[in-house]
Amino acid sequence: MNHIVAICPGSFDPITVGHLDIIRRASHMFSKVIVVVMPNLSKTPSFTPEERMEMIRAATADVEHVEVDYYKGLLADYCRQKHAGAIVKGLRAMSDFEYEFQMALTNKKLNPATETVFLTTSAENMYLSSSMVKQIGSMGGDISSFVPGVIHDKIKNRLLGKDE
Ligand code: PNS
């Protein structure tokens, strides 16, 4: 095993089985994986940062050497603080590519010490996104195969407005 610290950043609003698959696979490749919840200024969140962190902790309880954190500054600065060698992101369809490529190049410019590594998403998660989960869940659809079982009820109730 190498001694590289990897960062898995995202808005995780909420974490899906697709995210969890990437985190799990990254944990086999790097000596430490920090899953960091960050604000995405172009999205309106349904869960607070604390709730998102709590859900990630519950979903990754059985994954070794994973930490969960929150940071509201630049990802490149966070990586510098943590001496991270890699940013790990899942890449789904071509539609992700341009946005992810732009972020990777920008982060590399801001912090040349950290490389962005893309893991190919598993075929069954190709279409999955937190926005899709929120849309389906808020309309009463079945989201049980899209989100980790341990946090399913919390997500479902929030999306249906049953926990307010
Ligand atoms: O899960 P998302 O919403 O696709 O994650 C996007 C995220 C949070 C990783 C991205 O918006 C981000 O890196 N935000 C932190 C601010 C930052 O560093 N912006 C410049 C990146 S090019």
pLDDT digits (tens, 9 = 90+) for 58-107: 999 999 999 999 999 999 999 999 999 999 999 998 778 999 999 999 99
Q: What is the mean pLDDT of the chain?
A: 95
Q: Which pLDDT score, from 0 to 100, does residue 164 have?
A: 66
Burial class of residue 38 (count of CB atoms within 10 Å of its CB; 0-12, 13-18, 19+): buried
- Could you tell me the domains of the chain? 2-130 (3.40.50.620)
Residue type, 27: S
Residue nearest to atom 20 of ligand 1 (CA): 74
Average pLDDT over residues 38-58: 95
pTM of the model: 0.96
Q: Which of 117, 101, 140, 124 is nearest to 33 (CA)?
A: 117
Of all residues in the chain, the percent with pLDDT exceeding 90 is 89
Check if 130 is active-site. yes
| Options 28, 31, 43, 65, the catalytic residue | 43
pLDDT at 163: 81
- Nearest ligand 1 atom to the CA of 41 is 11
Q: Clarify whether 162 is annotated catalytic.
A: no
Q: For residue 68, which phi and psi values (nearest 5 degrees)?
A: -125, 135
Q: Do residues 106 and 72 touch, judged by C-beta distance below 8 A? A: no
d(CA 42, CA 22): 23
